[in-house]
Amino acid sequence: MLDDANVLKQRDPGGALAIAADQWQQVQFDVKVVDGDHDNREVTRVVVAGMGGSALAALLAKTWLEEKLNVTFEVVREYELPSYVNESTLVIASSYSGNTEETLACLEQAQKQSAQIGVLAAGGKLVQRAEEGKIARVVIPSGMQPRMAMLFNLRALVLMLGNFGVVDHALLDEVGAAAKWLHSETENWLPDVSTDKNLAKQLALQAVGKTPVFYGGRLTGPVAYKWKISWNENAKNVAFWSVYPEANHNEFIGWSSHPVDKPFAVFDLKSSFEHPRILKRFEISDRLLSGKRPKAIPIDLAGDTPLRQLLWGCIFADFVSIYVAILNGVDPTPVDLVEKLKKELA
């Protein structure tokens, strides 16, 4: 089925595979900050307010930049900012649609608490309020689902952090430099690459009809979360994620009863840059749980830097989950239930 061009076209009317194929271009997005002037106040904390796909880039950046940051970095995915937010805090409100009510609420609080503010959005009320208030903003290209615009968002976030002096602007070059390599990697997962040579299709066939559980470590945790989101929204399939070492202190025991033929597919997302003790936990956990859960399917993230591995893992997640959507007989693109929920809340 996955090698039948007609089936792919029929079951992917919104062109999700084509969007995934072009994601590598997003790391070269010609990003600009509008109204970026500020009073050079010291930034001691950074808070990124965003939900779902709009929070993904911040979670990746927090992991990637951990050793490069001299400030506290927190990602808020709710209606309220931490009480510590003040004039020394940079609050970045991130919403692809620009209409996410939780993020708009955080923007309003940031203004009341005299924070320095940046906005990342493709339009909507967030951009409108930023224009009215002359708030620093990056307008991201519109027309796609937030989860598929994550690399646009990452590039915009890095520029905004650089604009306020939190990181070196050279980091933006590191993001862009990955484009050519990501392009060549992406070509391995395209629809016209047959299943016997296409790892994305192979993994989709292994996981279809099951509930996936994605495990990461300190570095790959955000990628595991991305895989969970992609499975939820592309494949319309429930999925779960967790991270080591915490998983060994609770979830590990949850696998220890009932038959091994549980309707799950377990994926271990591994990085060569991960802490060696966490890599050891992947190995030992799978061995000790043999006969108690399905054997874990390892996914070794490709790339010669932590950033490249993170980017590779995120694009790969979309390809695999889109192929699962096609096997599930669902359109990968729309998220109708989310839109219905927003209307009900309104």
- pLDDT digits over 198-217, tens only? 999 999 999 999 999 999 99
| Catalytic residue, candidates 228, 233, 236, 270 | 233
For residue 53, the model assigns a pLDDT of 83
For residue 3, the model assigns a pLDDT of 96
For residue 341, the model assigns a pLDDT of 86
CATH class of 5-13+180-328: alpha beta
Q: What is the mean pLDDT of each run of 10 residues along the chain (346 residues)?
A: 94 96 96 93 96 92 92 96 96 96 97 97 97 96 91 96 94 96 98 98 96 97 96 96 97 86 91 97 96 94 98 98 97 88 84
State how far the alpha carbon of 248 is from the alpha carbons of 199, 254, 281, 329, 332, in Å: 29, 10, 8, 35, 33
Annotated catalytic, 249? yes
Task: Say whether 63 sits in a helix, a strand or coil.
Answer: helix
Rounded to a whole number of angstroms, the distance between the first and last alpha carbons of the chain is 41
| Catalytic residue, candidates 197, 249, 343, 344 | 249
For residue 264, the model assigns a pLDDT of 94
For residue 339, the model assigns a pLDDT of 82
Sequence-distant (≥ 6) Cβ neighbours of residue 324 within 8 angstroms:
204, 207, 208, 231, 234, 235, 237
CA distance 84 to 98: 25
For residue 342, the model assigns a pLDDT of 80
With beta carbons less than 8 A apart as the criterion, state whether 1 and 7 touch: yes
Query: CATH number of the domain at 31-177, please?
Result: 3.40.50.10490
For residue 257, the model assigns a pLDDT of 86
With beta carbons less than 8 A apart as the criterion, state whether 306 and 273 touch: yes
With beta carbons less than 8 A apart as the criterion, state whether 198 and 208 touch: no
Give pTM, 2 decimals: 0.95
Instruction: Count the Cβ atoms, other than its own, within 10 Å of residue 38.
Output: 15
For residue 230, the model assigns a pLDDT of 96
Annotated catalytic, 233? yes
Q: Do domains 5-13+180-328 and 31-177 have the same CATH topology?
A: yes
pLDDT in tens, 252-302: 999 998 766 779 999 999 999 999 999 999 999 999 999 899 999 999 999
For residue 336, the model assigns a pLDDT of 86
The residues spanned by each domain of the chain are 5-13+180-328, 31-177
